[in-house]
């Protein structure tokens, strides 16, 4: 019979206490309490490295550096997620505004908002909090130059 251990494989916390243990204070405020970090204060708004942006809550790969653009807003901005299925949307009418909230489809963590003033080809601007993301730089040319014999 299979081992029960696998039940915990996803590692997604269920309770707020478990989330608090897993996340930093800033991550928790954004992902679980739908907070917004101050503009130009996050770690990733000005990141220009090549790689992938993962959900800070569950590790799911959400955005790629090739879809990141300079929006001038002070938050990491993307014109498209890596896969439409990885993102969930919700209506957000807080602060007297009509906005569309962007959430991680896997863990339900709040990432930011999406607006319709992005660049082509999508015309979308995914305005995401740095605290909701973890950046993983793409492996830079570590492959052997000589062909590997089979």
Query: Which residue numbers are catalytic?
Result: 127
**Nearer to Zn ion (CB atom), residue 106 or residue 124:** 106
DSSP per-residue letters across 99-122: EEEEEETTT--EEEEEES---TTT
Provide DSSP, 75-102: S-EESS-S-GGGEEEEEE-GGG--EEEE
Interface with Zn ion includes 106 (CB under 5 A)?
Answer: yes
Q: Does 54 bind Zn ion (CB under 5 A)?
A: no
| Count of residues that bind Zn ion according to CB under 5 A | 8
**Binding flag, residue 57, Zn ion (CB under 5 A):** yes
44 binds Zn ion (CB under 5 A): no
CB of 111 to Zn ion, least distance (A): 8
Taking each continuous run of H as one helix and of E as one strand, the counts in the chain are: 2, 9
Strand partners, 44: none
Q: Decide if 53 contacts 135 (C-beta within 8 A).
A: yes
Per CB under 5 A, the segment of 90-98, 107-115, 121-129, 131-139 that binds Zn ion is 107-115
Q: Is 31 helix (H, G, I), strand (E, B) or coil?
A: helix
Our finding on whether 55 is near Zn ion (CB under 5 A) is yes
CB of 59: closest distance to Zn ion in angstroms? 7
The nearest distance, CB 64 to Zn ion, in angstroms, is 16
- Write out the residues near Zn ion by the rule CB under 5 A: 55, 57-58, 60, 104, 106-107, 109
């Amino acid at each position: 019979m299979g081992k029960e251990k696998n039940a915990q494989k996803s590692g997604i916390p269920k309770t707020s206490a478990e989330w608090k243990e897993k996340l930093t204070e800033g991550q928790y405020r954004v992902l679980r309490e739908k907070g917004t970090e101050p503009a130009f204060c996050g770690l990733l708004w000005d990141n220009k490295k090549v790689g992938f942006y993962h959900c800070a809550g569950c590790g799911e790969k959400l955005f790629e550096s090739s879809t990141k653009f300079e929006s001038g807003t002070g938050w990491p901005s993307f014109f498209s997620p890596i896969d439409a299925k990885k993102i969930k949307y919700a209506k957000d009418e807080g602060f007297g505004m009509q906005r569309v909230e962007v959430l991680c489809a896997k863990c339900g963590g709040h990432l930011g908002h999406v607006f319709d003033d992005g660049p082509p080809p999508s015309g979308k601007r995914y305005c995401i909090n740095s605290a909701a993301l973890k950046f993983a730089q793409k492996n830079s040319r570590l492959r052997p130059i000589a062909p590997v014999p089979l």
